[in-house]
């Protein structure tokens, strides 16, 4: 159990005058308890006047605990019976013992849009009846903390950063597979399969109990739409194609979000020049990152480079977003209208791109960085990049 995170949540309970905080989404369990659920049947309750308790199904493998053991209670039930009722009865009994009925509990009421569990084929069996039970834990009712808790998710501790770094160790295998498959005759879907296969195999490491990759590959004309959506098909790669990889990777419950643009064959001078515009936009935006700078200022820094090159109309999305506990964390969004100030400990993506027929396709580069007091650290820096994955200027025709 992560002591720094426990203190942060305890301070949150004090600040918002709550008796307890109930967390049940997979990303919330990773953030708060260092626990990534296998089936999704897990809950954490942080009591104001008692240590936190992690409630898990007896069917859950407890080797998914990332830190020292928290206070754990296994809930016994038979498959096909009222599992949520068993959880609720135990939690209600503990709340009567450790909670305070004069103060409300805090919970995120919306159970939708959750990050994946270890068994992604199983949905989370949360019902309205179950949520109503959580709402009535305290005689003082509940407070929906959906918005206020976002800042806790936005901050990554040093321990979180170490786990995120492990995600990039695994991601490197997928990036290597991508560059190794940039050949005429390959299909988008076959490259996607190679990338995800390479990542899944990393789940056999001693320090990795779960590794999942979600790759989308678009080539040639398909990359003109990469600013709107990403989708791999049976499209066959041709000489001279840009190939864009959008890659999400989850390792032990932590996430990264990476984009690389490759090229089939030897890049032309024009192709390399287009790529360097986006690389310059990304690097200038990253150079401006530090605590206290507004998200809109970072967006403008990248947009100014793209605008000077004459491609303002071809940059069609936000510059980045939070990442780490989810593929897309709740906050912040690095966009032109968001004046939210970056804070130390935030992990964000920086992903400028241009797309359209006029440039012969689409190009995007995406890396993940952690915000520091006086700058930032590029967490994905070790990953291969460049049109040929060489991290150096390509040989032109």
- DSSP notation for 51-84: --EEEEETTS-GGGB-SS--EEEEEP--TTS-HH
What's the whole-model pTM score?
A: 0.94
Q: Running DSSP on this structure, what letter comes out for residue 391?
A: S
| Each residue's pLDDT expressed in tens, for the chain with a length of 397 residues | 578 999 999 999 999 999 999 999 999 999 999 899 888 778 999 999 999 999 998 888 877 776 667 789 988 877 667 778 888 999 999 999 999 999 999 999 876 667 888 887 776 667 778 888 899 999 999 999 999 999 999 999 999 999 999 999 999 999 999 999 999 999 999 999 999 999 999 998 889 999 999 999 999 999 999 999 999 999 999 999 999 999 999 999 999 999 999 999 999 999 999 999 999 999 999 999 999 999 999 999 999 999 999 999 999 999 999 999 999 999 999 999 999 999 999 999 999 999 999 888 999 999 999 999 999 999 999 999 999 998 744 333 3
Token digits for 181? 């498959």
CA atoms in the 13 A half-sphere facing the CB of 163: 28
pLDDT recorded at residue 396: 36
Domains identified in the chain and CATH numbers: 3-150 (3.40.350.10), 155-378 (3.90.230.10)
pLDDT recorded at residue 378: 98
Q: CB of 170 within 8 A of CB of 211?
A: yes
d(CA 126, CA 29): 15
Nearest to residue 168, comparing CAs of 387, 392, 377, 352?
377
Q: Which pairs with CB-CB distance under 8 Å and at least 24 residues apart come from 80-89?
A: 83/41, 83/57, 83/125, 84/125, 84/126, 84/127, 84/129, 84/130, 84/133, 87/41, 87/43, 87/55, 88/130, 88/133, 88/134
What are phi and psi for residue 12, nearest 5 degrees? -65, -40
What are phi and psi for residue 105, nearest 5 degrees? -95, 155
Q: CB of 261 within 8 A of CB of 243?
A: yes
Strands 42-47, 53-57: parallel, antiparallel or unpaired by DSSP? antiparallel
Q: Which residues contact 270 (CB under 8 A, 6 or more apart)?
A: none
DSSP 305-358: HHHHTT-GGG--S-SEEB-SSSSS-SS-EE-TT--PBP-TTBEEEE--EEEEGG
Q: CB of 183 within 8 A of CB of 192?
A: no
> H helices of the chain, where?
3-15, 26-33, 83-98, 128-135, 150-154, 158-180, 188-201, 269-287, 295-308
Nearest to residue 14, comparing CAs of 94, 106, 93, 95?
106
pLDDT recorded at residue 59: 83
Give Cα separations from 93 to 33, 70, 86, 90, 132 (angstroms).
21, 19, 11, 5, 16
d(CA 187, CA 219): 9
Q: Which pairs with CB-CB distance under 8 Å and at least 24 residues apart come from 87-90?
A: 87/41, 87/43, 87/55, 88/130, 88/133, 88/134, 90/55
pLDDT recorded at residue 123: 64
Q: CB of 75 within 8 A of CB of 89?
A: no
Say how far residue 92 (Cα) sits from the centre of its chain: 32
Provide the residue count of the chain: 397
């Amino acid at each position: 159990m992560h002591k720094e995170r426990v203190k942060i949540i305890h301070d949150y309970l004090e600040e918002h005058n709550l008796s307890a905080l109930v967390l049940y989404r997979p990303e919330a369990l990773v953030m708060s308890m260092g626990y990534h659920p296998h089936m999704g049947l897990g809950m954490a309750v942080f009591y104001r006047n008692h240590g936190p308790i992690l409630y898990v199904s007896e069917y859950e493998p407890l080797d998914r605990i990332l830190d020292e053991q928290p206070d754990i209670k296994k809930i016994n039930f038979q498959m096909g019976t009222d599992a949520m009722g068993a959880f609720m009865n135990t939690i209600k009994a503990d709340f009567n013992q450790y909670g305070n009925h004069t103060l409300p509990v805090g919970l995120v009421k919306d159970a939708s849009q959750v990050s994946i569990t270890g068994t992604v084929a199983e949905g989370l069996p949360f019902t309205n009846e179950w949520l109503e039970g959580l709402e009535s834990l305290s005689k003082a009712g509940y407070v929906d903390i959906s918005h206020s808790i976002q800042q806790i998710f936005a901050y990554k501790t040093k321990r979180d950063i170490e786990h995120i770094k492990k995600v990039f160790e695994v991601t490197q295998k997928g990036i290597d597979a991508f560059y190794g498959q940039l050949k005429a005759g390959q299909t988008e879907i076959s490259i996607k399969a190679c990338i995800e296969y390479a990542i899944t195999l990393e789940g056999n490491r001693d320090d990795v109990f779960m590794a999942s990759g979600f790759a989308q590959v678009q080539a040639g004309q398909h990359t003109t739409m990469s600013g709107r959506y990403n989708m791999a098909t049976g499209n066959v790669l041709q000489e001279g194609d840009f190939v864009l990889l959008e890659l999400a990777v989850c390792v032990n419950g932590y996430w990264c979000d990476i984009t690389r643009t490759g090229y089939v064959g030897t890049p032309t001078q024009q192709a390399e020049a287009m790529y360097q515009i986006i690389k310059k936009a990304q690097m200038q935006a990253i150079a401006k990152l530090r605590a206290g700078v507004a998200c809109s200022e970072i967006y403008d820094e990248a947009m100014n480079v793209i605008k000077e090159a004459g491609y303002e109309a071809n940059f069609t999305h936000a510059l980045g977003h939070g990442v780490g506990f989810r593929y897309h964390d709740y906050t912040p969004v690095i966009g032109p209208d968001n004046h939210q100030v970056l804070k130390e400990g935030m992990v964000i993506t920086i992903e400028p791109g241009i797309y359209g027929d006029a440039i012969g396709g689409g190009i995007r580069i995406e890396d993940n960085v952690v915000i520091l007091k006086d700058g930032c650290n590029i967490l994905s820096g070790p990953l291969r990049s460049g049109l040929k994955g060489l991290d150096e200027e390509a040989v032109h025709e």
